[in-house]
């Protein structure tokens, strides 16, 4: 029975969860760097905060300013300024909500949908490039480990409710 983990790069034993956590943190920093290079290679370069707005709006077609501010954990005036910039560049539209004309719904434009699709392709290409440098067995181990981590990180309330839906 294996009592600990081994660092695949060094072969050193990693006996404690804190050692594994440190290794994961380092790997996440590498992953973030790969994704950031893909973002910076895109034209036009969208600042991270504005990209986050587009992502939130893309994930929920009924996003209004208060929901956006809540999702970004900012005050509504800050969310509004971000939307002002995106609207000025043609990446976001504000329209009256047909269900409640006092509300303003945020919508992606075709340009922002193309931008998000292009970014997704660039990120996957960058990740693929890195993964292709790994041995096949290491990629398979990584996939198994990521799935196990995802399962362990799942909200216990969702797991106990028998909700087997997966999110991307």
Range of the domain at 65: 52-107
Tell whether 122 is covered by a domain.
no
Tell whether 74 is covered by a domain.
yes
Kindly state the tokens that stand for 8.
């695949």
Q: Is residue 119 scored above 80 in pLDDT?
A: yes
Neighbour tally for 72: CB within 10 Å: 16
Tell whether 73 is covered by a domain.
yes
Q: In the beta sheet, which residues pair with residue 13?
A: 6
Average of per-residue pLDDT across 118-136: 95
Tell whether 56 is covered by a domain.
yes
Our count of domains for the chain comes to 1
Q: Is residue 8 scored above 90 in pLDDT?
A: no
Burial degree of 35 (CB within 10 A; 0-12, 13-18, 19+): middle
Counting every residue, how long is the chain?
168
168 or 62, greater pLDDT? 62
Tell whether 123 is covered by a domain.
no
Report yes or no: 69 and 79 within 8 Å, Cβ to Cβ.
yes
Question: The CATH number of the domain where 68 resides is what?
Answer: 1.10.10.10
Per-residue pLDDT band at 102 (split at 50, 70, 90): confident
57 or 62, greater pLDDT? 57
């Amino acid at each position: 029975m294996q009592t600990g983990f081994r660092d695949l790069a060094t072969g050193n034993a990693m006996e404690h969860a804190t050692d594994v956590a440190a290794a994961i943190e380092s790997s996440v920093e590498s992953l973030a760097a790969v994704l950031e290079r893909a973002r910076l290679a895109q034209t036009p370069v969208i600042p991270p905060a504005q990209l986050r707005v587009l992502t939130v709006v893309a994930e929920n077609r009924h996003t209004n300013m208060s929901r956006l501010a809540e999702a970004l954990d900012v005050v509504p005036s800050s969310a509004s300024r971000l939307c002002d910039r995106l609207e000025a560049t043609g990446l976001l539209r504000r329209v009256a909500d047909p269900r409640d004309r006092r509300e303003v719904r945020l919508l992606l434009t075709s340009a922002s949908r193309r931008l998000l699709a292009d970014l997704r392709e660039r990120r996957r290409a960058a990740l693929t490039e890195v993964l292709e440098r790994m041995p096949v067995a290491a990629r398979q181990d990584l996939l198994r480990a990521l799935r196990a981590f995802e399962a362990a990180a799942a909200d216990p309330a969702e797991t106990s409710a028998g909700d087997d839906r997966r999110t991307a």
